[in-house]
Structures are given as structure tokens and as C-alpha cells.
Amino acid sequence: MSTNELGSKADLGVPIPGRRRFLNTAALAGIAGSGLGATVVTARAATNVNAPVKSEVKPGELDDYYLFASGGHSGEVRVYGVPSGRTIKRIPVFNVDPMVGWGITNESKKIMGLKPDGSLKYMTGDTHHVHGSYTDGTYDGKYFWVNDKLNGRLARIRGDYLECDQITEVPNVQGFHGLFPDKRDPVDPKINHTTRVFCGGEFHVPFTAAGPDVKDPKKYACLFTCIDAETMQVRWQVKVDGNMDLCATSYDGKYAALNQYNTENGVVYQDMMEAERDACVVFDIARIEAAIKAGKSFTLGDSKVPVVDGTKAANKDPRTALTLYVPVPKNPHGVNMSPDGKYYVCSGKLSPTATVISHELVQKWFKGELKDPRDTVVAEPEIGLGPLHTGFDGRGNCYTSLFLDSQIVKWNLDKAIAQYKGDKAAQVVLDRIDVHYQPGHTYCSMGETKEADGRYLNSGNKFSKDRFLPVGPLHVETEQLIDISGDKMRLLQDHTAYCEPHDGIIVRRDKVRTKQICELSDHPLAVKSPNDSRIDRKGNKVTVYLTAIAPTYSKTEFTVKRGDEVTIVLTNLDKVEDLTHGFGIQKYNVNFIVNPQQTASVTFKAEHAGMFWYYCTHFCHALHLEMRGRMIVEA
């Protein structure tokens, strides 16, 4: 018997010829005698990257890749399977999610951040970009990060449970947009994994809350921020000219590059479009850290984070400069690093071009061997209207989303470089495919690692119009999966995505190694046995310790007094994969789950007298409906 049969007719005591009329509770769980230990079916073979691409995953088969996508202003992160497009998980991050109790349990509230009165500081966010931690130039599955553009925060998701474990608010930024982890240390060759995460500030801000500077945009600036990947503490910031949008890091750990669309420091869009060229700003990480060590930093506003000056005026000599501003046309959007580590590709947005900046020439510029920042540019091909983001196949080709043309364009890097050098016959654009409609982000399987495998490309389209059944004024988004394994791109399938994912990454399944059962010892308050359940009272603070084992809580009744501050600590002692219990209390806004061997707690004020049922909200057993108890609140 497997857990899939859980709650089957036989288990429910329905008479079946030749079987007993009534079953004991173990049999009712549907799992007794199944020999199931801690794990059920998680053997995931490595993805065969040489197998032909497919558009379908048959029932019972597993996907070859995880796709981690942001959830836009839903504040969450989504996990899809590739190539099926099936939604596998939604990870609440900056949003409140009663399915898991995110923003409701004490543990999640602590991660999200509280006001002095104990309520959530923020209940919403705007996620755009998800990126994973690297070892040796490819994903190691340890962490994933996502930004909150709305409230200037960086969140980390741990790879083992795929749950958010830390959120850091970045000081003195608004509109924190692009983020990217570093891929190795710029100085220490032994550190070949991610230890920093870089964050770009998109909106320029004043560094004071009062006085004339608040209103004067000339006094505003944007900060580039480095956050420690392990501690999630803000390490340092750099003040820049203009703004920052998206971010890419080099494979040698030396640089982070960010596109700038508002070098004008405009406050309205007309002003932001004035210049023919904006920039891609490159940060020299080792020099920035040396400058901070040498005490060349200052602080801004109330923040104690060390800041160094990365403005043009302060960085005139390339041999000591912290920053390099490469002029690129016009209001660029998106910068992506090619998997061979050689080029930064910056999309033109208002210009029909992409700008290719050479990593090697950037290094030369910082050594003082090039005169003009434009000397680092090695190609600027015309590719189509509204270029936004670029993915890579690992065979020297780029795939850029064209928002206005509603296309993905495939073009070749070497050919673009040859054309820039004067080869008029160079065939730069190799293919175009219509997408439906108006693509924003596009990204390829393993495309932002040195293991880019050139199999799948996802086009995250911003408008779906007629692709799905209409559901009122707001349509769902279309994510389109495209086969890029051959010369011509081939549309494989559409799938829906609830509004609205921006960026994503497609990660080979063998890179993600999740645990299916929690560690009891991860929680200091874990109730290790039903016999340990108890009620502790200290003045008007009451803590109720409970366990859940299908189909019952260790206490089916407890009494508190009206006005008490009640904390429920609940441990799920079941050890079977996927056997999750819920806990909801009528009229008290309490609703959360505990996964196998997990402990969670909630705190609330018992303000209404009377009898209130608490019950299991997550289907766990044939007697799931019977899994409940009573809280008596004495007047």
C-alpha cells in the first residue's frame, strides 16, 4: 500500500468483499505496513542533457529541470517543472500565505520582520529576480535569493527545504531591482563559491527624511549594495551616478555590471529619455573592499553601513577607479553574462541594439591600458525592437527578448563581433520566433552558468490576450517553452503563470537536493513526544505544547482565561513524507501547517470567551475531519 491509497475506500471502512468491515487507526492512515520510512519517491536521476528535448512529461514521469521564477507583486517565488510547465511549489516570501502559515506563525513573522507592537512590518513585496548560489561557476543548490523592489529587501531561500529563511532590508535604497550572487572570490582563489550578493538601487533617493534635500532631486543618489551570502548582513555600499537596474557578475568574481537607464537623474520619464546614451556601470569588487579596509568610507543618513564613492568625479583615474561607466544606447534594460565568461550583453530597450562589452577589455581599462570606456565595447548589433533580456545556449548564441516586436531573436556573438570590426557579410541574426505576446524575461536551461546546455528557453510574456480562456479584465501570463537545441527555434508549449513572474532560472534537477522530512532538533521548542505536551502559565502568558500524530493532537482540549496571551507550540511527530498537519482555530485568525517532524508556533490574545474548535486544515488521514479539539476560553 502506498500513501496514494490513503483514504481509499477500503481504508474508510466501506465493506469490500473479503475485507474486514472496520479497520484500526493505523490502517486508516493508509500507510501502515507500507514499509515507508522517512522517504518515498525522491530518487532523481541526473538530467540527460544529450537526450532530445520534449514537450510533454507523461503521467508519472518527472521533469528534467526546476524553474525558479519570481512572482512579481504577489511577493512570492514559484517553482515550475520544465518541460511540463507544471507548478510544483509556491514559496511565500514577502507575502502572507495561510496555506503554510507564512506571516502567521511566530517563526515566519520573525523572518519577515516586526514592528515594535509585534505586528508585521510589511505584508507585501514585489519580487523580480531569482538567482541561485554558485560553486565553480554553476548552481550548487544551497541558496536562492530574490529581491523585493517595493520595500528594498533581499530574501534568501534555503535549497534543502525551499523555504525562505532570512530577509534583509537594505538601507537608503528604494526600488531595489537587480541582484546577482558572485561566483567566486575576486582575491582568494580557494573561495570558488558564492559569498556575496550584489543589489542595484533603481530609484534615486535623498539620504535624509527632512529638510530641503528631500525635495531636491539633485541631492538624490543610488547605492550599489553588497550583502554577505551567509550572514545576510549588509557589508558595504557604493554611491553611483545615475541609477541601476539589472545585474550580472563575472565568472572570476572580479566584477559586477549593472545597466543604467536613468543617467539623467530624471524624475519623470521624459527626462529619463533625454540622453542618447546611458550606461552599463562595472564595479571592481576587490578595489571597493580594499578602499573600505583603508578607511575611505563614509556613512549616509541613519545607516552605519560603510559607503564608498563610486561617482565619475571621484573615479577619473582608471588605475585606482572603483567603477567604470561604459556608455550604451538608450535606456538599456538587462545585462547578462555569457557562459564562457567573456562578455556582458546589455539590451538596448529604446535602441534596437544589444551592446557587447568584453570582460577582458574591462580588465584592461581598470589597468589603465584603454583610454575610453567605449573601447571595452566589441559589438553592437541591431537585433530588433525593444530588446530586454538575453539568454545563452553555451554554443555562442544569444537569445534576446524583443518586447515591441513580440519575438525572441537568436543571434551569434562571434558574428556580431566580426560585424563590429567591419565584416559587412557577417550573418548576425540567425532566427526569430514570434511569442505571445510582449516578452519580458527570457532565459535558457542552465543558461547563467558555465553548464549552459542549450536545450530549453522560456519566454516570460507580459500579455497573453487570446491564448487562454478569458477570466475578466486581467489575463493570466503566458510562459512559452521553446526548443533551442536545433538551428531553428521551435515553440513547444504554452503554460499559464499567475501574474506576474519576471525573471527565472532553469536549474537541472540534480542540482536541487531537498529534504522531505524536517529535523526535530531544528526547533528549540520541539515537543518530542505526546507525553511532553503540557500547558505552562506565567502570569497571563500561557503556552500550550501539542503534538500531532495522524489522526489526533496530543491534547483534544485545553482551557485558558479571557485576556490571556496564548502561544500554541505544535510539533508534527509523523515521520512519513508529505504527511503534513494543519492547525486552525475558529475566530482567531490562526491557520498554519506543520510538516513531518516540524515545529511551529503562533501567539494570539484570547479575547473572546467561549468554546472554539481547533482542527486540522490539511488533509492527512481518513479521519482528518475528526482531527480536532476544543479551546475553552473562560470569561
Binding site for ligand RUQ (CB under 6 A): 128-129, 177, 333-334, 388-389, 440-441, 502-503
Kindly report the backbone phi and psi dihedral angles of residue 410, in degrees, each rounded to the nearest multiple of 5, phi listed first. -100, 125
For ligand RUQ, which is the closer residue by CB, 306 or 332?
A: 332
3 state SS of 553: strand
Under the binding rule (CB under 6 A), the answer on residue 619 touching ligand CUA is: yes
CA 428 to chain centroid: 33
Element (H, E) at 37: none
What is d(CA 405, CA 401) in angstroms, rounded to the nearest whole number? Answer: 9
52-55: long-range contacts, CB 8 A cutoff, minimum separation 24: 52/485, 53/83, 53/455, 53/456, 53/483, 53/485, 53/492, 54/83, 54/492, 55/83, 55/481, 55/483, 55/492, 55/493
Element (H, E) at 255: strand 255-260
What is the smallest separation between the CB atom of 85 and ligand RUQ, expressed in angstroms? 19
Per-residue HEC secondary structure of 182-213 comes to CCCCCCCCCCCECCEEEEEEEECECCCCCCHH
235 binds, among ligand CUA, Ca ion, ligand RUQ, none (CB under 5 to 8 A by kind): none
Site string for ligand CUA, 85-104 (x = CB under 6 A): --------------------
The residue behind cell 482528518 is 624
128 binds, among ligand RUQ, Ca ion, ligand CUA, none (CB under 5 to 8 A by kind): ligand RUQ
Under the binding rule (CB under 6 A), the answer on residue 229 touching ligand CUA is: no
Under the binding rule (CB under 5 A), the answer on residue 331 touching Ca ion is: yes
420 binds, among Ca ion, ligand CUA, ligand RUQ, none (CB under 5 to 8 A by kind): none
What is d(CA 70, CA 151) in angstroms, rounded to the nearest whole number? Answer: 16
78 binds, among Ca ion, ligand RUQ, ligand CUA, none (CB under 5 to 8 A by kind): none
What is the smallest separation between the CB atom of 10 and ligand CUA, expressed in angstroms? 19
| Candidate residues 31, 616, 622, 631; the one interacting with ligand CUA per rule CB under 6 A | 616
Under the binding rule (CB under 5 A), the answer on residue 577 touching Ca ion is: no
For ligand CUA, which is the closer residue by CB, 366 or 553?
A: 553
β strands within 500-580, DSSP E: 504-508, 534-538, 541-549, 552-553, 557-561, 565-572
619 binds, among ligand RUQ, Ca ion, ligand CUA, none (CB under 5 to 8 A by kind): ligand CUA
What is d(CA 135, CA 576) in angstroms, rounded to the nearest whole number? Answer: 32
β strands within 425-516, DSSP E: 429-434, 439-444, 456-461, 477-483, 490-497, 504-508
SS3 content of the chain, % helix, strand, coil (to 5): 10, 40, 50
| Candidate residues 357, 457, 484, 550; the one interacting with ligand CUA per rule CB under 6 A | 550
Under the binding rule (CB under 6 A), the answer on residue 570 touching ligand CUA is: no
What is d(CA 505, CA 495) in angstroms, rounded to the nearest whole number? Answer: 16
For ligand RUQ, which is the closer residue by CB, 69 or 569?
A: 69
177 binds, among Ca ion, ligand RUQ, ligand CUA, none (CB under 5 to 8 A by kind): ligand RUQ
For Ca ion, which is the closer residue by CB, 181 or 387?
A: 387
Q: Name the one range near Ca ion by CB under 5 A: 205-213, 272-280, 397-405, 432-440.
A: 272-280
What is d(CA 94, CA 239) in angstroms, rounded to the nearest whole number? Answer: 27
331 binds, among ligand RUQ, Ca ion, ligand CUA, none (CB under 5 to 8 A by kind): Ca ion
Write down how long the chain is.
635
Under the binding rule (CB under 5 A), the answer on residue 338 touching Ca ion is: no
What is the smallest separation between the CB atom of 251 and Ca ion, expressed in angstroms? 29
Element (H, E) at 420: helix 413-421
Under the binding rule (CB under 5 A), the answer on residue 185 touching Ca ion is: no
Give CA separation, 465 vs 436, 461, 532, in Å. Answer: 8, 10, 57
* Grid cell listed for 599: 515545529
For ligand RUQ, which is the closer residue by CB, 177 or 621?
A: 177
For ligand RUQ, which is the closer residue by CB, 440 or 551?
A: 440
* Grid cell listed for 482: 521553446
Under the binding rule (CB under 5 A), the answer on residue 245 touching Ca ion is: no
Q: What is the DSSP string of 74-95?
A: T-EEEEEEETT--EEEEEESSS
278 binds, among ligand CUA, ligand RUQ, Ca ion, none (CB under 5 to 8 A by kind): Ca ion
For ligand CUA, which is the closer residue by CB, 32 or 370?
A: 32
Give CA separation, 512 vs 45, 133, 433, 574, 599, in Å. Answer: 11, 11, 31, 24, 24
What is the smallest separation between the CB atom of 393 and ligand CUA, expressed in angstroms? 46
Under the binding rule (CB under 6 A), the answer on residue 618 touching ligand CUA is: yes
What is d(CA 617, CA 185) in angstroms, rounded to the nearest whole number? Answer: 47
Q: Name the one range near Ca ion by CB under 5 A: 149-157, 183-191, 273-281, 400-408.
A: 273-281
441 binds, among Ca ion, ligand CUA, ligand RUQ, none (CB under 5 to 8 A by kind): ligand RUQ
What is d(CA 350, CA 359) in angstroms, rounded to the nearest whole number? Answer: 24
What is the smallest separation between the CB atom of 334 and ligand RUQ, expressed in angstroms? 6
What is d(CA 23, CA 29) in angstroms, rounded to the nearest whole number? Answer: 10
Name residues contacting Ca ion, limited to 74-133 (CB under 5 A): none
The residue behind cell 538601507 is 171
For ligand RUQ, which is the closer residue by CB, 104 or 388?
A: 388
What is the smallest separation between the CB atom of 406 and ligand RUQ, expressed in angstroms? 14
581 binds, among ligand CUA, ligand RUQ, Ca ion, none (CB under 5 to 8 A by kind): ligand CUA
Identify the CA nearest to 378 among candidates 324, 411, 418.
Answer: 418
Under the binding rule (CB under 6 A), the answer on residue 624 touching ligand CUA is: yes
For ligand RUQ, which is the closer residue by CB, 177 or 183?
A: 177
Site string for ligand CUA, 510-549 (x = CB under 6 A): --------------------------------------x-
For ligand CUA, which is the closer residue by CB, 200 or 582?
A: 582
**Residues binding Ca ion: what is the number (CB under 5 A)?**
3
Looking at beta carbons, which residue is closest to ligand RUQ? Answer: 440
What is the smallest separation between the CB atom of 137 and ligand CUA, expressed in angstroms? 44
What is the smallest separation between the CB atom of 622 and ligand CUA, expressed in angstroms? 10
Identify the CA nearest to 183 among candidates 507, 448, 513.
Answer: 448
What is the smallest separation between the CB atom of 565 and ligand CUA, expressed in angstroms? 26
| Candidate residues 278, 380, 479, 564; the one interacting with Ca ion per rule CB under 5 A | 278
Q: What is the DSSP string of 309-357?
A: E-STTT--STTT-SEEEEEEESS-EEEEE-TTS-EEEEE-TTSSBEEEE
The residue behind cell 534555503 is 158
The residue behind cell 534576446 is 400
Question: 621 near 28, Cβ under 8 Å?
Answer: yes
In the complex, the residues that contact ligand CUA under the rule CB under 6 A are: 548, 550, 581-582, 616, 618-621, 624, 627
In the complex, the residues that contact Ca ion under the rule CB under 5 A are: 272, 278, 331
